[in-house]
């Protein structure tokens, strides 16, 4: 009996869930906050800065044997196909960020369908791997654009990461589930939805999962949210942009608040990412999709506020 008890006590604890790491591959001047001051027809005349930032990310991940999902903008892939090939050759998942970084609300269903179809075809050809996932520019899948879920399902996408379950001036579905779930569109289309990480406090979801939130907040707040996800048996989705590891990028003529949002904490991003990579286990969606799909027991229908 005592031998049985000691054997049981010596059994190792189950490892914590692997969290999800993702990057939105776009240029610093393609953010929505710069749309009014950097016209789309000038993009080709602006020097591109993605390659060194992506190289830095790939080095950080390789040093820790960590994989990630890269949501690549079609505009970038068309102009730098070798960048897509390099990311894929390093063992990472390539997913779609659309073609031209237009918020879904500015596209109709058929234009959106062409956008996600064209980007998926191009990225799949370049990466030599199926493109399973999509993330909308500026997390612009909301109740008003829920038809996009139907289009994505019809076009063969298996998962989406475009819904942020928070209140924000540009996006958000605050009543949406905070963890991976089955998203259903108004036409009945369904796919796996993987929201960015949030922290539940005072009855509301606080965004902590990446981007400006990670740059602004102490990194230990993000770690706290990841630890709480582990306690709940969940996987947190972290997202970043390569330009967030480029503190020397030119200053864009944005409005003061937008410029602050865009540039706050740029010099600390790489160190924060490295700190998290050293303390938590991460992978891309592709490596975890079966476990994510199995754990996504909740279903949420988009298209009308709760």
pTM: 0.93
The pLDDT value given to residue 3: 44
Q: What is the CATH number of the domain that holds 229?
A: 3.20.20.370
Q: Is residue 187 part of a domain?
A: yes
Q: Is residue 12 part of a domain?
A: no
Confidence band of 8 (pLDDT split at 50, 70, 90): very low
Q: Is residue 200 part of a domain?
A: yes
Assess contact for 92 and 61: CB atoms under 8 A.
Answer: yes
pLDDT digits (tens, 9 = 90+) for 32-45: 999 999 999 999 99
Q: Which domain holds residue 197?
A: 17-301
The pLDDT value given to residue 305: 62
Residues with Cβ < 8 Å from 3, sequence gap 6 or more? Answer: none
pLDDT digits (tens, 9 = 90+) for 38-71: 999 999 999 999 999 999 999 999 999 999 999 9
How many domains does the structure of the chain reveal? 1
Q: Is residue 287 part of a domain?
A: yes
The pLDDT value given to residue 144: 95
Q: Is the pLDDT of residue 234 over 80?
A: yes
Q: Quote the CA–CA distance of 156 and 245 in Å, as a whole number.
A: 33
Counting every residue written for the chain, the total comes to 306
């Amino acid at each position: 009996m005592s031998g049985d008890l000691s054997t049981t006590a010596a059994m190792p604890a189950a490892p914590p869930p692997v969290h999800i790491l993702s990057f939105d591959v776009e240029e610093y001047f393609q953010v929505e906050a710069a749309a009014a001051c950097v016209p789309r027809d000038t993009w080709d005349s602006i020097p591109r800065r993605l390659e060194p930032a992506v190289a830095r990310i790939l080095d950080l991940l390789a040093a820790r044997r960590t994989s990630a999902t890269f949501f690549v903008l079609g505009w970038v892939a068309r102009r730098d196909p070798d960048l897509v090939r390099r990311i894929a050759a390093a063992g990472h998942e390539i997913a779609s960020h659309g073609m031209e970084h237009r918020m879904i609300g500015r596209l109709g269903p058929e234009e959106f369908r062409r956008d996600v179809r064209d980007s998926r075809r191009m990225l799949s050809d370049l990466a030599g791997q199926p493109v399973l996932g999509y993330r909308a520019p500026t997390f612009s899948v909301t109740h008003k654009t829920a038809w996009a879920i139907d289009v994505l399902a019809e076009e063969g996408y298996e998962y989406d990461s475009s819904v942020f379950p928070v209140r924000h001036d540009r996006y958000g579905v605050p009543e949406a589930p905070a963890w991976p779930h089955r998203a259903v569109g108004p036409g009945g289309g369904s796919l796996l939805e993987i929201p960015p990480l949030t922290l539940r406090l005072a009855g509301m979801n606080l965004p902590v999962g990446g981007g400006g939130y990670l740059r602004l907040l102490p990194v230990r707040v993000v770690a706290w949210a990841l630890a709480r996800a582990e306690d709940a048996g969940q996987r947190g989705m972290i997202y970043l942009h390569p330009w967030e590891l480029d503190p020397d990028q030119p200053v864009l003529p944005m409005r003061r608040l937008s410029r602050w949002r865009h540039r706050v904490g740029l010099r600390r991003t790489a160190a924060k990412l490295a700190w998290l990579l050293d303390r938590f286990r991460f992978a891309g969606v592709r490596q975890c999709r079966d476990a994510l799909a199995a754990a996504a027991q909740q279903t949420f229908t988009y298209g009308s506020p709760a």
